[in-house]
Structure 1
Amino acid sequence: MTTTVTAYAAASAKAPLERTTIERRTVGEHDVLIDIRFAGICHSDIHQAREEWGEAIFPMVPGHEIAGIVEKVGPGVTRFKVGDRVGVGCMVDSCGVCEPCRSGHEQHCLEGNIQTYNGVGKDGEPTYGGYSQKVVVTEGFVVGIPDGISLDVAAPLLCAGITTYSPLKHWGAGPGKKVAVIGLGGLGHMGVKIAHALGAEVTVLSQSLRKKDDGLRLGADHYYATSDPKTFEELAGSFDIILSTVSAPLDFGAYLNLLKVGGALVNVGAPEEPIALNLFSLIGGNKILAGSAIGGIAETQEMLDFCAEHRLGAEIELIAAAEINEAYERVLGSDVRYRFVIDTATI
């Protein structure tokens, strides 16, 4: 039997999100039924609900930053039990047999991973996300949330946390390394916290100094305004890693000039427009321009364990479900420090 649950959904592109009901599938052999307690709001929720990233599936229940409690498990589930604290991120399944899946990189599944919402499950039905009371997910795509993190500040880690942790680990952020984070927003503030906890020397590069006090409090050692041309002169050749968390088009040549020889500029923000790049910006200094997409399930669990060990959680503003549409407008206006989280008890 399917389960009817209350959710907030957009009926069509650009429509406001409204309270409705959806059906969750029957708990199968290897499924976990999660009582959702908190759901983060990611900027990508807004892009998809407004059909800005291509044709979308409506009605749409956004939300891929899910934290809750296990309510029921299928008879074949071995990793979780009723009462466990768990999370679900950006994907809820994959083919499981291709090389990326077998190597723990399910986000790069060659058949395409199944997104937590605005996707189609293996049963042929649309997937619905975390702006809802409950969700059913196969156990292989559920992660445990350690006791060291409260569920509300843990929810955004399922996207913002892993999106910044994965590239920082991959490119070797740690003691003796200098890391710059472009943008101090929903992603950037976690990038600062994680890079600092990894032991790197951290610099924030932001348009202005408006959030400087926040940046230093969150773990940055230095804070510079990119609107000041002297910043690019003073910091030339300074960084081992630059993590760009912004979705605005950048002067990539100017930022590549801030890297040391062999340094990497890694993008987790995704501008809609194509970029222009003079390849001599890369050739000179053997520099790297890279991208990164979330992380696999094992790495997501590693990130949560790391955050619990270092007492890291997102900086959040907790809201009621009735405030979702207002929160979307505030995100677009950069009026949040630094992640909205929905208290799903208000759905």
Structure 2
Amino acid sequence: MIRSLAVDGPNKPLKPMEFDPGVLPDNQVEIEVQYCGVCHSDLSMMDNEWGASRYPLVPGHEVVGKVVKTGSMVRSLQAGDSVGLGWHSDYCEQCTYCHSGEHNLCSASQPTIIGRHGGFADRVRASETAVVPLPPGIDLKSAGPLFCGGITVYNPIVQFQIKPTDKVAVIGIGGLGHLALQFLSAWGCDVTAFSSNPDKAEQAKALGASHILDSTDIKQLDSARDKFDFIICTVNVELNWTGYLNTLAPKGRLHFVGVIPTPIAISVGSMLGKQLQISASPVGSPATISEMLNFAVRHDIKPMVEVFPFDQANAAIEKLRAGRVRYRAVLEL
């Protein structure tokens, strides 16, 4: 039996639940969970904000632990391996994207907490392909958020071939943004943090920002006109997109990783003259996650975490719901 924490409906507290996972499929491994990040996506699924939740629902998709069982077809992992598991737990392994190593774009991919039980549990299962070995030297306690928040901001750096000489900016210094600052700084970029919270200015500089701009100050936005090659937006609120587009240099890109809840209003005319680009991306493939983990270890990049005992998961959820976590919550089993 697997011991877990589950919710039985939207806006309900987590409660203990035991379930029998059945026979381990041939292509899967079972992981003994040591730490599990608490992501805003867990909260969205708990509250059925996306209309995809099925109850009872066991959240948790930023898992760090050890392999304890392997299916008969598993070859790359063995019992005792330290591993991590992120947003996806399985892929079709048949489509063009899986065959080309871009598993995160597989239309038949299986999210860890949609239609299956996640990592708020003593054990969790996933396909061999989706489970990523942890590199030596990584900090286990803070590694979990790299498997969702970390890869979400690292993936576009790789996909769009951001150069160390680029001038880049990060909108929002939170769970995603504080990691984006670290990755882009370590990449060698000149990094600006857009933030409306003056209390975060010094911390943003400590995380790698060379410059701070108040995103609510029109004059400061105007002072950065035509400056940035790449802007990554990590927030999930409506902003003055035209103002940010004006800060892009010719051929610059405004890239979204935060899920804006409403359609964004952007004038095509404001993009034509400078040949600007707008894009968005999900989490990365297992191969890109592995690359990110090694990069993080090499450059000592770590999520800033608040650790909660497993039996205080509801306290972690409520602090996240109130926006008071700095900057990622992690459950310790």
Q: TM-score, normalised by structure 1?
A: 0.93
CA contact (8 A) 2:28 2:127 kept: yes
* Structure 2 contact 213–221 (Cα < 8 Å) conserved: no
Which residue does the alignment assign to 1:122? Answer: none
Structure 2 equivalent of residue 9 of structure 1: 6
Bigger mean CA deviation after superposition, 201-210 or 321-330: 321-330
Question: CA offsets per residue over residues 254-301 of structure 1, 9 Å max, x none?
Answer: 111111000101000012112211111221200001001001111111
Q: Which AA in structure 1 matches 2:214?
A: A
Count of residues paired in the alignment? 333
Checking the alignment, whether the CA contact within 8 Å between 1:307 and 1:313 is kept in structure 2 is yes
Equivalent residue of 1:255, what SS? Answer: helix
Cross-structure match for 1:37: 34
Which of 293, 304, 312 aligns to 1:304? It is 293
- Determine the structure 2 residue equivalent to 1:258: 247
Aligned to 2:215: 226
Q: How much identity, in percent, do the aligned residues show?
A: 35
The structure 1 residue matched to 2:228, chosen from 204, 215, 239, is: 239
Aligned to 1:124: none
1:141 matches 2:138: no
SS of corresponding position for 1:285 = coil
Q: C-alpha separation between the residues in 1 aligned to 2:262 and 2:286?
A: 30
1:123-176 residue CA offsets vs partner (Å, 9 max, x unmatched): xxxx11111100121211110111221111110000011100001122233321
Q: Is residue 52–residue 114 contact of structure 2 (8 Å, CA) maintained in 1? A: no
| Alignment check: 8 A CA contact 1:171 1:241 kept | no
Counterpart for residue 72 of structure 1: 69
Residues 158 and 235 of structure 1: CA distance in aligned 2, closer, same or farther (over 3 Å): same
Q: 2:93 aligns to what?
A: 96
Tell me, in whole angstroms, the C-alpha distance in 2 between the residues paired with 1:103 and 1:341. 33
Alignment map for 1:92-171 (pairs within 5 Å) = 92-110=89-107, 112-119=108-115, 127-171=116-160
SS at 1:211 equivalent: helix
Shift in Å at residue 76 of structure 1? 2.6
What SS does the corresponding residue of 2:238 show, helix, strand or coil?
coil
Q: Distance in 1 between matches of 2:207 and 2:110?
A: 34
After superposition, the Cα gap between the structure-2 partners of 1:25 and 1:234, relative to the gap in structure 1 and judged at 3 Å, is farther
SS of residue paired to 1:324? helix
**Counterparts of 1:140 and 1:277 in 2: how far apart (Å)?**
39
Tell whether the 8 Å contact from 1:41 to 1:342 is kept in structure 2 after alignment.
yes
CA distance in 2 between partners of 1:135 and 1:217 (Å): 36
Per the alignment, do residues 280 and 332 of structure 1 end up closer, same or farther by CA in structure 2, a change over 3 Å counting? Answer: farther
Equivalent in the alignment of 2:167: 178
Aligned residue number for residue 78 of structure 2: 81
Question: CA RMSD for the aligned pairs?
Answer: 1.3
Matched residue, 1:21: 18
1:279 paired to 2:276: no
Q: Is residue 175–residue 198 contact of structure 1 (8 Å, CA) maintained in 2?
A: yes
Long gaps (5+) in structure 2: none
Structure 1 residue 27: Cα displacement: 2.4
